[in-house]
Amino acid sequence: MRRFLFLVLLSAFGHEVYAQESSKIQLKDRLNDREINFLDNIFTGTSNPAALSFNTVQTLTRATLNTHFERGGFHFVDESPRYNDFSVDISGLKRMGKLSLSGDITYVNSKAFDHRWNNTALLTTRNPFVLGDSIASNVNQESFSMHAAASLKMTEKLYTALKLQFVTTSLSDQTDPRPKTNAMRFEAKPGVVWRIDGRNNLGIAGNMGMYRSDISHTIVNNLVNNVYFLMKGMGDNMQFTSSDVLSYPRDYKGTSIAGSAQWNTLSRGFSNLIELNFSANNETATDGGAAYTFKGGDYSARQIALYDRFSFKTSDTFWHQLMMRAAYISDDGYWYDQRRVVDTQHANRVYYEVLNKSKVQNSTYAQALLEYRLDKRHGEDAPVWTACVNGGVVSQQTTHYEADIYKQKFNALNAEINFTRRWKWNTCYVEATAGTQYATPLGTPVYTSVRGKLADAYSRPAFEYSTASRIGFNTQLMVSLPLRLYAAPTWLNVYVKNRHTFYTDSNRFSSLYKDTSRSLIDAGLSLTL
């Protein structure tokens, strides 16, 4: 039987063993590599790529074909009521002596129906400087992403690692003004873990990222004057038309940097890991391409996040995880007042002169989440069942400066319960999950719009969706069948999962979501070997 390196964290009696060789890992354990590695490796879930060195399941290959469908009117205003995609994913883990490797390649082909208000891709979600149009159209999108990570055991006490991530996407549609968008993100994540002694481990990790995107438009019917909306947040916007600029171009550029530290303490009967993360992100929008330069807004964000995981066992079979997450984000948007100038001395060249730069929006977002997970597990096998419950609060306040000061703010509560059962059925393995979710605002949300701009079409529905009460449920079923692929033992996994969310609020700010819901369905198959 093949031999594998694996990490066994703290037992109930306080014995710790790191990266010991073992022949106990079987093919069936690869079906549940995420669950086993999560329970045995407390660094799993952190931002440190050196966590690879401490995995129990260290060698596997998985290929997945997935179909995804979304239906229903309960969605953010710049998302689509109907969405389909098909994806192919190949991932794997490999241990070679002291070197641990992981990799993943994914291709996604999707189509969003009746899409409007947002022609960007991979832009930071909280960035208010979105370029869009109000014409409903069907958007085709292709995405390709990959990551590669390596972690090396340098000495008995020192582990170093590097993870590289890359994603690129392209989207287009065939309805005027026919936006064409290309975007990419690249991230490099170095990390190190130092085993100070048998009971204390220190980790440090970094993250450096780059974002690039370009958008252009193509008008076929010149008899219709199309409007381009340059969003500034809270529905505030500046408008250009296709009579001003036939094909409105925009480029986004962004950089990000982050650093984190992890401290792991082992004691009798428990293990605790705490992670502190700082990050900064900047994105700028520049319009006009080679013809002229118009500044479309500068966005900057700072974030501090805390993660704490407390792990212990109350017997040989019951594993407990208590996790706390907290984050605080502060971001600013800066707008440039500009005027159009025609240079009559140089062939009537058009350019925009910057008159003033000022802060147009400030937003703060805070969240806190507490999660408890209980697993029943025999030895080093996958859990027989897993129960998980979590609850949290979020608070957001946005201040917009446009001739006056406008504010939006809300607090919300959310909770979720999930239960997963795993069992053997003849020669097959079955995994079934059921869960429910609930969210509701705390107190009375405060809403204002910037001089009523796009209030009914955009800003009111956006705020209603963000603050709405909702209830949902999810289920998942996966059946794994053993087979041999080119003489190699393999699992064929067939699965289906769904999630349904229902709007339960009272249309306080918009009636757009009355009696609406949202359904997400995934179905597919994978090979694990």
Note the pLDDT tens digit of each residue in 409-466: 999 999 999 999 999 999 999 999 999 999 999 999 999 988 788 999 999 999 999 9
Q: What angle do CA 443, 449, 453 make, to 5 degrees?
A: 155
The strand pair at 385-401 and 349-376 is best described as antiparallel
Contact 522, 68 (CB under 8 A): yes
In the block, which residue shows the tokens 């008899």? 223
Residue 196: alpha-carbon gap to chain centroid: 33
The strand pair at 82-96 and 60-71 is best described as antiparallel
Distance CA 492, CA 428 (A): 10
- Which residue type does 243 have? S
Distance CA 182, CA 15 (A): 52
In the block, which residue shows the tokens 């079979």? 317
- For residue 251, the tally of other CB atoms under 10 A from its CB is 16
pLDDT < 70 positions in the chain: 1-25
- For residue 284, the tally of other CB atoms under 10 A from its CB is 17
DSSP conformational letter for 456: I
Using CA of residue 26, residue 27, residue 29, residue 30, what is the dihedral sign?
A: positive
Distance CA 165, CA 46 (A): 16
- Whether the link from the prior residue into 177 is cis, omega within 30° of 0, is yes
Contact 520, 70 (CB under 8 A): yes
DSSP conformational letter for 404: S
pTM: 0.91
pLDDT in the model for residue 475: 99
Q: Where are the beta strands (DSSP E) in 218-293?
A: 227-233, 236-241, 250-267, 270-287
